Amino acid sequence: MIYFDNAATSYPKPKEVGQAMLHFLEKVGASPGRSGHRLSIEAGRMLYQTRESLAELFNIGDPLRIIFTLNVTEALNLTLKGLLRPGDQVITSSMEHNSVMRPLRELEKKGVEVKVISCSPKGSLESQDIEEAIKKNTKLIVLNHGSNVIGTLLPIIEVGKIARKHNILFLVDAAQTAGCYPLDIKRDNIDLLAFTGHKALFGPPGTGGLVVGEKVDIKKLNPLKVGGTGSRSESEEQPDFLPDVYESGTPNTVGLCGLNEGVRFILKEGVDKIRQHELSLSQRFITGLKEIPGVKVYGEEQVKDRVAVISFNIKDQLPSEVGLRLDEEYDIMCRVGLHCSPAAHKTIGTFPTGTVRFSMSWFNIFKEVDQAIIAVKNIAEGK
Amino acid sequence: MKENYSVVIFYSTSTAIRAESLAKKDELIVKLIPVPRNLSSDCGICLRFNNEEKPKIEKILQDGKIEYENIYKI
């Protein structure tokens, strides 16, 4: 079996991930932050260690500025719904996932002005177009870092500088880049970084979070949910400090223990080394695909402008049929269709049929890429 | 010999654990314990340390911009 669906959920995970989760369930088990006994304290320490690892990865001074959520969707909903008010303008791109677009369309109905900057058919964005769209009421710029459809990287460093220059908050959706592309919230001028645990960070599903930068006034960022936090228990008002203000209810401690090991693995191997491997895999796959008559590859020519997400189509064949044949005849797992991003598919011209999408991880090897190329070639030749 | 201890009382468990982590990195001998009954607190645990380490503990709290309720001798 060959797994090329890492942009959806990475598989396999480093073995330490599952081991840490089992250790938590068997040896710790308790609720963090709720009781004073040693198992509860130990559970709290384990959560804190996950924050410390992520803080090291993203260059965050205070690990308590990391809020845990269920996934990146929850982190994006929290930020967009918590920050934007009627009359505010928000700037985004035409390559966004529905985890950004749907909250924005909902907010638009409530009076938030949504400005969508068009990207090129390769998915690239001119940062100058962002700057020109800035108005007096612009509150936030939100961009995905790497496209989940065609892998194109958006120029977040340039846009971060623009946001800083105009004193506008900058939210980055790092669903496809956290763990496999260098991110530094200080260097990149990122105020809010939304990430998910189950993709390139190698954690289990049900883990993710939001980094709340120092320029964010938490009094102006409303929580998505309120409730028990284990702190300020005498009060019926939500606490106003990080991370408790945004972390109500018992967290997914077992999942977050797994995430910690995923991040430790990345820190040990090095993001640059992981990135380099994924670039090599992408280059090999794209080169192979382009030699097959009737195959169209979407996105940037240069792999350096991408993450390891590669979309293509075979002339006169439906993505769904190609995907089924890859699975049943060649034992290759990929994703086909619209990838939760109608805006991106309209931008690249693949709406409504979609694409066949391959996405690689650190654990894929060249032999798998070569087998995939042969499989696609056979299917394209009608074999 | 009876040890002389103090405790830092925090607003949240996460903050208490962060303080513990920073203190241990500085090789101070600290321990998270349930808040003594005669003291009241928003969170159930506090950080115990030897009295003579008080200046070092205060520096860690200050450098880490860690908010805390108070420090008490116990």
In terms of C-beta density within 10 A (0-12 exposed, 13-18 middle, 19 or more buried), how is residue B34 classed?
Answer: middle
CB-CB under 8 Å, B13 with A230:
yes
Preferred mutation among A56, A66, A244, A260 to probe B, highest tally of B CBs within 10 A:
A244
Other CB atoms within 10 Å distance of the CB of residue A186: 12
Query: In sequence order, what DSSP letters do the residues of A32-57 get, joined into one string?
Result: TTT--SHHHHHHHHHHHHHHHHHHHH
What pLDDT is attached to residue B42?
A: 67
Q: Residue A197 has what DSSP assignment?
A: S
Q: Summarize the confidence of residues A308-337 as an average pLDDT.
A: 97
What pLDDT is attached to residue A243?
A: 95
Preferred mutation among A53, A231, A241 to probe B, highest tally of B CBs within 10 A:
A231
What pLDDT is attached to residue B2?
A: 62
- Nearest chain B alpha carbon to A34: B44
CB-CB under 8 Å, A232 with B13:
no
User: How many Å lie between the alpha carbon of A257 and the closest alpha carbon of chain B?
Assistant: 15
Q: Which residue has the tokens 């590669």?
A: A310
What pLDDT is attached to residue A104?
A: 98
Q: Summarize the confidence of residues A312-327 as an average pLDDT.
A: 96
**Residue in B11, B17, B35 nearest the CB of A231:** B11
Which chain B residues have a beta carbon less than 8 Å from that of A48?
A: 14, 17-18, 21
Domain at B5-73, CATH class:
alpha beta
Q: How far apart are CA A168 and CA A156, in angstroms?
A: 14
Which chain A residues have a beta carbon less than 8 Å from that of B44?
A: 34-36, 40, 230
The tokens for A365 are 């090897």
The tokens for A271 are 């993001």
| B69 contact A CB<8A | no
Q: Are A125 and A154 in contact (CB under 8 A)?
A: yes
What pLDDT is attached to residue A235?
A: 85
Which chain B residues have a beta carbon less than 8 Å from that of A243?
A: 14
- The fold of the A15-269 domain, in CATH, is Aspartate Aminotransferase; domain 2 (3.40.640)
Q: For residue A313, what are the β-bridge partners?
A: A296
ipTM of the complex: 0.88
The answer for residues whose C-beta is within 8 angstroms of residue A369's C-beta and 6 or more apart is A281, A284, A285, A288, A360
CB-CB under 8 Å, A230 with B44:
yes
In terms of C-beta density within 10 A (0-12 exposed, 13-18 middle, 19 or more buried), how is residue A99 classed?
Answer: buried
What pLDDT is attached to residue A366?
A: 98
Q: Return per-residue pLDDT of chain B as tens, 74 residues.
A: 467 999 999 988 899 999 999 999 999 999 999 888 888 766 788 999 999 999 999 999 999 999 999 999 98
pLDDT digits (tens, 9 = 90+) for A105-125: 999 999 999 999 999 999 999
When pLDDT is cut at 50, 70 and 90, the band that residue A374 belongs to is very high
User: How many Å lie between the alpha carbon of A55 and the closest alpha carbon of chain B?
Assistant: 13
What pLDDT is attached to residue A35?
A: 77
Q: How far apart are CA A90 and CA A30, in angstroms?
A: 41
| B32 contact A CB<8A | yes
Picking from A376, A382, A380, A379, the residue whose alpha carbon sits closest to that of residue A2 is: A376
Q: Are B8 and B53 in contact (CB under 8 A)?
A: no
Q: Are A258 and A21 in contact (CB under 8 A)?
A: yes
Q: Taking 70 as the threshold, does the pLDDT of residue A65 lie above it?
A: yes
pLDDT digits (tens, 9 = 90+) for A8-50: 999 999 999 999 999 999 999 999 987 788 999 999 999 999 9
Q: Is the bond leading into B34 cis (omega within 30 degrees of zero)?
A: no
Which chain B residues have a beta carbon less than 8 Å from that of A256?
A: none
- Higher-pLDDT residue of A36 and A61 is A61
Residue ranges covered by each domain of chain A: 2-10+271-380, 15-269
**Residue in A36, A64, A243 nearest the CB of B45:** A36
What pLDDT is attached to residue B38?
A: 83
pLDDT digits (tens, 9 = 90+) for A148-161: 999 999 999 999 99
Lowest mean pLDDT, pick from A140-144, A188-192, A223-227, A335-339: A335-339
CB-CB under 8 Å, A48 with B43:
no
Q: Are B20 and B61 in contact (CB under 8 A)?
A: no
What pLDDT is attached to residue A376?
A: 98
In three-state form (DSSP H/G/I as H, E/B as E, the rest C), the secondary structure along A77-137 is: HHHHHHHCCCCCEEEEECCCCHHHHHHHHHHHHCCCEEEEECCCCCCCCCHHHHHHHCCCC
What pLDDT is attached to residue A106?
A: 98
Picking from A58, A34, A43, the residue whose alpha carbon sits closest to that of residue A210 is: A58
When pLDDT is cut at 50, 70 and 90, the band that residue A201 belongs to is very high
Give the strands of the sheet with B5-10, arranged side by side.
B30-34, B45-50, B5-10, B68-73
The answer for residues whose C-beta is within 8 angstroms of residue A142's C-beta and 6 or more apart is A76, A79, A80, A90, A91, A92, A96, A100, A104, A170, A171, A172, A173
> With pLDDT > 70 as the criterion, what percentage of chain A qualifies?
100
Other CB atoms within 10 Å distance of the CB of residue A122: 16
What pLDDT is attached to residue B41?
A: 67
CB-CB under 8 Å, A47 with B44:
no
Q: Is the bond leading into A243 cis (omega within 30 degrees of zero)?
A: yes
In terms of CATH architecture, what is A2-10+271-380? Alpha-Beta Complex (3.90)
Q: Alpha helices of chain A — where are they, by DSSP H? A: 15-23, 38-58, 72-83, 98-109, 127-133, 156-165, 253-269, 271-290, 319-330, 342-348, 366-380
CA–chain centroid gap for B6, Å, is 8
CA–chain centroid gap for B16, Å, is 7
Q: Taking 70 as the threshold, does the pLDDT of residue A58 lie above it?
A: yes
pLDDT digits (tens, 9 = 90+) for A247-306: 999 999 999 999 999 999 999 999 999 999 999 999 999 999 999 999 999 999 999 999
